[in-house]
């Protein structure tokens, strides 16, 4: 079987790494793949470091579609991928997650007669203001095979009329990568520079357009977090979209430390030992759940309800006033303990490849 693997943005690389490991385990003669990097995320901090640390092979093609608006990126990816498929016919296009690359390549592949497999299918926030929600709906509406992370995702797909024979509940590829590397995480330099102490600092990340586009939102969140932080260090690796906005405000708080995005192994070292993480990321809520680290999500909804129902995540919403009671609970050591959702066991990618070989 000839398969195109699509990876475009930071969370994609972590999932694709696990899938490539599984393909190699089964034997590359069974599944011949091309790795296509769309170039959506392109610099060292957001792309290269993941390839190096996670042993992802050099992409066979790079569509160099970084920068520009959502529509410009979508268009560049579609044109680039179509020209690749015109030169060589493949059997299946495997897309992961919910980024622009996921949607753009699935549309091109389907129109060119390939089967489309979507890893992390069926998750829904119900919030059409999120670009990712649109990517999820479009991708799932044309996919042939649906690999899911939760029963909720299965039920969402069934509600949309997907035939159950096409839905494979396999677990979470992001957790595969964490299971593989959890004993080899790397201490980032900020640890010694600040003299960080285990369970005595917070990590925060924000990058959703709805949270960071308006500088005043960003400032209000940061103010509330700093005021209620008991003065422990707050480490804030900033996504490029967020950095641009943060440059516009004066942030001189002695315990707030803005740093560049960390590599995967450094970032998860920091999360594992933190008192808590405050975030609007989807993937980080899953990793925090797996590592049993308290997680506060600054969003009104989540497409990953299992991180709240079973895991350590709590949805605080988008009113900064919700931050005080949450941090208060944390410092009183009253944060809930989580359990690991079903099939988040490090074997998801193997299940996916096994299914693909039997299709």
Give the separation between CA 153 and CA 342, rounded to whole angstroms: 13
Is residue 191 at the binding interface for ligand UDP, with CB under 6 A as the rule?
Answer: no
Is residue 176 at the binding interface for ligand UDP, with CB under 6 A as the rule?
Answer: no
Of 73-81, 217-225, 279-287, 310-318, the window that binds ligand UDP (rule: CB under 6 A) is: 279-287
Is residue 188 at the binding interface for ligand UDP, with CB under 6 A as the rule?
Answer: no
Considering the complex, what minimum distance in angstroms separates the CB of residue 35 from ligand UDP? 18
Among 100, 205, 302, 312, binds ligand UDP (CB under 6 A): 205
Give the separation between CA 68 and CA 73, rounded to whole angstroms: 6
Helices (H), the chain: 10-26, 49-53, 70-87, 100-111, 131-142, 151-159, 173-181, 189-194, 209-212, 215-227, 240-246, 264-272, 283-290, 306-309, 323-331, 348-358
> What φ, ψ does residue 137 adopt, rounded to 5°?
-65, -45
Give the separation between CA 213 and CA 236, rounded to whole angstroms: 17
| Binding to ligand UDP, residues 222-251 (CB under 6 A) | 237
Q: How many chain residues touch ligand UDP (CB under 6 A)?
A: 17
Which one is catalytic: 37, 41, 118, 207? 207
Closer residue to ligand UDP (CB): 101 or 143: 101
24 beta partners: none
Considering the complex, what minimum distance in angstroms separates the CB of residue 9 from ligand UDP? 7
Closer residue to ligand UDP (CB): 11 or 341: 11
Among 47, 143, 229, 268, binds ligand UDP (CB under 6 A): 268
Tokens standing for 294?
A: 């308290």
Considering the complex, what minimum distance in angstroms separates the CB of residue 113 from ligand UDP? 29
4 within 8 A of 33, measured Cβ to Cβ: yes
Q: Is the dihedral of CA 155, 160, 164, 170 positive or negative?
A: negative
Of 23-31, 64-72, 281-289, 301-309, the window that binds ligand UDP (rule: CB under 6 A) is: 281-289
207 is catalytic: yes
**H-run or E-run covering 297:** strand 295-297
Is residue 54 at the binding interface for ligand UDP, with CB under 6 A as the rule?
Answer: no
Closer residue to ligand UDP (CB): 50 or 168: 50
Give the separation between CA 119 and CA 11, rounded to whole angstroms: 12
Contact partners, residue 298, CB within 8 Å, separation at least 6: 206, 211, 221, 278, 279, 280, 316, 317, 318
Give the separation between CA 292 and CA 286, rounded to whole angstroms: 10
Is residue 295 at the binding interface for ligand UDP, with CB under 6 A as the rule?
Answer: no
Is residue 10 at the binding interface for ligand UDP, with CB under 6 A as the rule?
Answer: yes
Of 6-14, 59-67, 82-90, 115-123, the window that binds ligand UDP (rule: CB under 6 A) is: 6-14
280 within 8 A of 208, measured Cβ to Cβ: yes
Contact partners, residue 11, CB within 8 Å, separation at least 6: 97, 99, 174, 282, 283
Is residue 264 at the binding interface for ligand UDP, with CB under 6 A as the rule?
Answer: yes
Among 5, 14, 77, 316, binds ligand UDP (CB under 6 A): 14
Of 7-15, 111-119, 241-249, 335-343, the window that binds ligand UDP (rule: CB under 6 A) is: 7-15
Give the separation between CA 106 and CA 119, rounded to whole angstroms: 12
Residue 301 exposed, middle or buried by CB count within 10 Å (0-12, 13-18, 19+): middle
Is residue 313 at the binding interface for ligand UDP, with CB under 6 A as the rule?
Answer: no
Considering the complex, what minimum distance in angstroms separates the CB of residue 29 from ligand UDP? 31
Is residue 284 at the binding interface for ligand UDP, with CB under 6 A as the rule?
Answer: yes
Give the separation between CA 21 and CA 183, rounded to whole angstroms: 18
Is residue 8 at the binding interface for ligand UDP, with CB under 6 A as the rule?
Answer: no
Is residue 288 at the binding interface for ligand UDP, with CB under 6 A as the rule?
Answer: no
Among 145, 267, 335, 344, binds ligand UDP (CB under 6 A): 267
User: Which are the catalytic amino acids?
Assistant: 207
Binding site for ligand UDP (CB under 6 A): 10-11, 14, 174, 205, 207, 237, 261-262, 264, 267-268, 281-284, 287
């Amino acid at each position: 079987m000839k398969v195109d693997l699509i990876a475009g943005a930071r969370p994609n690389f972590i999932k694709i790494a696990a899938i490539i490991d599984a393909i190699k385990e089964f034997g590359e003669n069974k599944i011949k793949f091309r790795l296509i990097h769309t170039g959506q995320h392109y610099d060292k901090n957001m792309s290269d470091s993941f390839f190096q640390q996670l042993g992802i092979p050099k992409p066979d093609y790079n569509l160099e579609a970084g920068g520009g608006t959502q529509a410009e990126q979508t268009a560049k990816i579609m044109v680039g991928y179509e020209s690749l498929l015109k030169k060589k016919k493949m059997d299946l296009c495997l897309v992961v997650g919910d980024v622009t690359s996921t949607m753009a390549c699935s549309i091109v592949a389907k129109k060119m007669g390939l089967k489309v497999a979507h890893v992390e299918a069926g998750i829904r926030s119900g919030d059409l203001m999120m670009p990712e929600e649109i990517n999820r709906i479009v991708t799932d509406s044309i996919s042939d095979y649906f690999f899911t992370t939760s029963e909720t995702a299965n039920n969402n797909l069934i509600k949309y009329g997907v035939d159950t024979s096409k839905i494979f509940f396999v677990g979470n590829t992001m957790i595969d990568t964490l299971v593989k590397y959890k004993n080899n995480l790397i201490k980032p330099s900020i640890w010694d520079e600040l003299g960080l102490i285990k369970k005595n600092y917070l990590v925060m990340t924000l990058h959703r357009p709805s949270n960071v586009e308006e500088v005043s939102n960003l400032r209000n969140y940061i103010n509330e977090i700093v005021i209620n932080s008991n003065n422990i260090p707050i480490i804030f690796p900033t996504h490029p979209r967020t950095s641009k906005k943060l440059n516009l405000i004066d942030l001189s708080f002695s315990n707030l430390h803005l740093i560049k995005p960390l590599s995967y192994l450094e970032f998860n070292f920091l999360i594992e030992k933190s008192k808590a993480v405050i975030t609007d990321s989807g993937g980080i809520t899953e990793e925090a759940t797996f590592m049993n680290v308290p997680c506060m999500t600054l969003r009104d909804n989540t497409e990953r309800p299992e991180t709240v129902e079973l895991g350590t995540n709590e949805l605080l919403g988008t009113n900064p006033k919700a931050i005080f009671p949450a941090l208060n609970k944390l410092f009183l050591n009253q944060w809930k303990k989580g359990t690991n959702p079903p099939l988040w066991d490090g074997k998801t990618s193997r299940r996916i490849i096994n299914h693909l070989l039997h299709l």
